[in-house]
Chains A and B, each alone.
Chain A
Amino acid sequence: MRNLKPIIIIAFLAGILSWLVAWWMIAAVSFVVTVNHKLKPRDGFLSGFIGVALLWLGFVLWRDIPNEHILANRLVGPGLLPLPNGWMLMLLTVILGGLIGGLAGWSGAIMNKAFRK
């Protein structure tokens, strides 16, 4: 698994920098890490996606399980987040995080390829 290392680095760094700076550090980190690792575009996307999705999944579960799902269920419904239940909100969160990470990772890989001599 060539991609394992960047995935772990992305999840780790994005976690720390999101906590300290702002949520969009997930994109910045995915971009920088894929540039650094000279990944192929497909691997860049996957590393970003999986790295951030894992990070967000971990945090969602860490918040949700001790909360016994109270907040997740309160946030969904007509007039707020039109989803059928709290599980879907968790899934949506993780996919959103993954897509942002993936896009940024893909961008990083492509940029690297385009400007590499």
Chain B
Amino acid sequence: MRKLPAILLLVVTTAIVYMLDKPLGSLPAVGKLLDPISGCWANAEPVNKDFTREDNFPGLKDEASVSFDENLIPHINAKNDYDLYYIQGYVHAYFRLWQMDLQTRAAAGRLSEILGDKTLSFDRLQRRKGMVYGAEQSLKAMEADPRSKQMLDAYTAGINAFIDSRIFRTYPLEYKLIGFKPEQWTNLKTALLLKYMADDLTGYTEDIAMTALRDALSADEFAMLYPERLSGVNTVIPHDTIQQVPSLKIPVAPADSIAWAHLNADDFEKTEEGKGSNNWALSGSRTKSGAPILSNDPHLGLSMPSLWFVAQLTAPGVNVFGATLPGAPGVVIGFNDNISWGFTNNYRDVKDFYTLKETGKNSYWFNGKETQYENRVEVIKIKGKPDYNDTVHYTVQGPVMYDERFHGPGGLKRPMAMCWMAHQPSNEMLALYLLNRANNYETYTKAIWNFLCPAQNMLYADKAGNIALWGQGQFINKWKEQGRYVMNGADSSTLWGEKIPVSENPHAYNPAQGYLASANQTVTDTTYPYWYNGTFYEFRSWRINSVLRQTHHATVQDMFALQNDVYSILAANVLPVMLQHINASTITDKERGYLDMLGNWDYCLTAESKAATVFQVWWENFYNVLWNAKLSKIHNAIKPSPERTMQLLLQGSPYLGNVDDAVANSLHNSIDSLDKLKHENRLEWYHAKNTTIKHLARLAPFSFSDLKLGGWGNVVNAAKGDHGPSWRMVVQMSKNIDAYGVYPGGQSGNPGSKYYATFLDKWVKGEYYKLNFYTTDKKQTPKYIWTIHAKS
């Protein structure tokens, strides 16, 4: 009789242990996780860990070393290119493996494999965009060139050498928390990561919304509210440096009835205001030292671990330092012994949409004929569920992104194909390979001409004293307005035509003005012969240009100040007008109280400014009230840009409707939000905007919020809620390069490491680290050294 309870207890115990070994719903395997021997506690890195090691790496060709400084910035020294990129792969994986793995899975639409069906629609969207298709195209181009092929092969081998040395105990923490394991790296994953960036920077879909607006508004009104080019801008490429004679004949637009599609569906993906970047370079005539200074701060989604990892790569023929992208070999933004460079997004439109007339389940109408789709069956694996198969149709234009089976946001179900530059073969890897080795303007241009998508404003400064800027990417010789709206996909006259030779891309070299600056603004004026459109942002450019025009004898400290500048051109222009429209007799005491706070405001969005909060909240409401009244019939319409709104407001344009009412109503609407902030003691601007750096898995304890810094998307220091300067760099091209940099994060991706967020504090305060660039004639004192032998 004593046997039954004994067996029962054993069964229960076994069941409990079994359950603690397996994830339950969204809970991780608790026993396995908390086990202090191999679980999460094993990721607690001793704060005085000695990173020094001596090791053999399988497949390495020669001896190599990695010297780390006190912030764990590695200086990789190899005897050949293969070893260099092998070790870069190993080092990236050593510090950031989980992030690289997650981001490439996200790019490929494979998150459901590890997270379950809550990410299925995200995965389907990725497949529909043709992310893997695009990566495969680029991979072909990358593997066709022996230099980029070797670079990728070596990098992949290095990552896999690290992965092969892992067991559960030594997995990065997030694998244990989420419950999956690292998989082998491939060259395709690197290509996917580059497409992930391309998607982030050229992925917008506002053609669809613009089509609805064009159809709904009168031609006159549409042109007034949504001008093709804004007037009064400071273009990326100054007027006097544009090459005005095109080598290609500008194509003639087909008749409107053939060119355009008209939409009834009324929804679209929202674009976000002010995602962008700044870069500028001063030539020696404007600096104190007489050497050019280059500054760059690319604005991207802020996350932990950071998108960037700082490193120096040294091998025969290359000595380069800067921001690298875990998941890709080479340095993306940085400098070498002779030149420095920085990128901002170019924002010329390289993604167009076509409506399709389906003639059957598997065919569409094209050039008067029934044409078969090419099909690509996307198999999406889902954790704990059967696979999901999605057949994506491909037309002559590209993948059918939306259709009956996969609606666009808001229910757009008309079949719509997408033509996107990111689907074309291109070898950005070779661009980086050559760029890292470029030593003058000529080799620089040859290098960047390989960089086709995402198009970037590529800034250059060298030790010889030259500065240059290219609006670089692959662009199409378009007819006027081609691709500004959704096109008719049934006719070949709407297809993309010839490619514009990259040598004709707009560029400037040592311009008379003595500086060059880009901040995602309009690229050229109308003297540039080819037609293009894009989503451009002007406020930061206006500010940067107005400061640089008056800058002489500049020092690197002046550049730090400008990167951290928070003066709002928008506020300085629109606030006085808004205040003029206030009817003093109708406002309440409470409203008066907030308005008084704006009294002596300097228009700076500083961290502790309460006036900044009042203005920002009020403006946001005003902008919405103003345009909602006007565009209410067009569901979810894109509003005219804040830049255009400002211009119309300053002109007193009748197209705005009743501004008095909008001012009064928006002020009234703002009071609740402002009162709430005041009540919570969060009226200071940094509380109100709440700049947050989220962990990639959205784990709050691994994230940082409420960071005490000023700024916004439309001021130079573009620190918004979750977007901002992801890497700030200032390089003075003197004989001994004088370089500074900082990013919001740390070199280690391990939340259990003291190096997880090393740089965050200085980034918030607007301070910089001096970048320790190793050169042959400078004595170095690394903190830790890896001595690496080739395995014999």
Contacts and interface: CB of A to CB of B under 8 A. Distances in A.
A74 B702 contact: yes
B43 interface: yes
B699 A71 contact: no
Nearest to A23: B35
A59 B14 CA distance: 24
B699 A66 contact: no
B21 interface: yes
A103 B13 contact: yes
B698 interface: yes
Interface string A75-109: 11111110000000000110011001001101100
A100 B6 contact: no
Contacts of B6: 107, 110-111, 113-115
Interface stretch (B338-346, B527-535, B749-757): B749-757
A15 interface: yes
A19 B37 contact: yes
B9 interface: yes
A66 B701 contact: no
A63 interface: yes
Contacts of A59: 36-37, 41
Contacts of A74: 701-702, 751-752, 756
Interface string B633-664: 00000000000000000000000000000000
Interface residues of B, number: 45
Q: Is the interface of B mostly helix, strand, loop or mixed?
A: helix
B13 A27 contact: yes
A66 B699 CA distance: 24
Contacts of A9: none
Interface string B668-710: 0000000000000000000000000000001111100000000
A31 B21 CA distance: 17
A67 B37 contact: no
Interface stretch (B45-53, B409-417, B736-744): B45-53
A39 B702 CA distance: 45
Nearest to B47: A68
A77 B36 contact: no
Nearest to B38: A23
Interface in B1-21: 2-3, 5-7, 9-10, 12-14, 16-17, 20-21
B217 interface: no
A23 B39 contact: yes
B34 interface: yes
B301 interface: no
A24 B17 contact: yes
Nearest to B46: A66
Contacts of A15: 37
B38 A18 contact: yes
B30 interface: yes
B5 A100 contact: no
A47 B549 CA distance: 79
B44 interface: yes
B701 A80 contact: yes
Nearest to B173: A71
A111 B42 CA distance: 34
A71 B751 contact: yes
B40 interface: yes
Nearest to B751: A74
A67 B46 contact: yes
B47 A67 contact: yes
A94 B35 CA distance: 9
A57 B34 CA distance: 12
A56 interface: yes
B41 A64 contact: yes
A100 B20 contact: yes
A78 B38 CA distance: 24
A70 interface: yes
A23 B37 contact: yes
B31 interface: yes
A79 B698 CA distance: 8
Contact of B752 (A70, A80, A92, A115): A70
Contacts of A81: 701
Interface string A25-58: 0010001000000000000000000000000100
A8 interface: no
B110 interface: no
A87 to B, nearest CB: 14
A74 B49 CA distance: 19
Contacts of B275: none
A107 B13 contact: yes
A68 B754 CA distance: 9
B351 interface: no
Smallest CB-CB A-B distances: 8 pairs = A71-B752, A77-B701, A66-B46, A23-B35, A67-B44, A59-B36, A79-B700, A114-B6
28 contacts: A22-B21, A22-B32, A23-B21, A23-B35, A24-B21, A56-B35, A60-B36, A63-B44, A66-B46, A66-B48, A66-B49, A67-B45, A71-B44, A74-B702, A76-B701, A79-B698, A79-B699, A80-B177, A80-B701, A93-B34, A93-B36, A96-B30, A97-B36, A100-B20, A103-B12, A107-B13, A110-B2, A111-B7
Interface of A: 15, 18-19, 22-24, 27, 31, 56, 59-60, 62-64, 66-68, 70-72, 74-81, 92-93, 96-97, 100, 103-104, 106-107, 110-111, 113-115
Given A64-B41, A70-B753, A80-B177, 5 more contacts: A63-B41, A63-B42, A104-B17, A107-B10, A114-B3
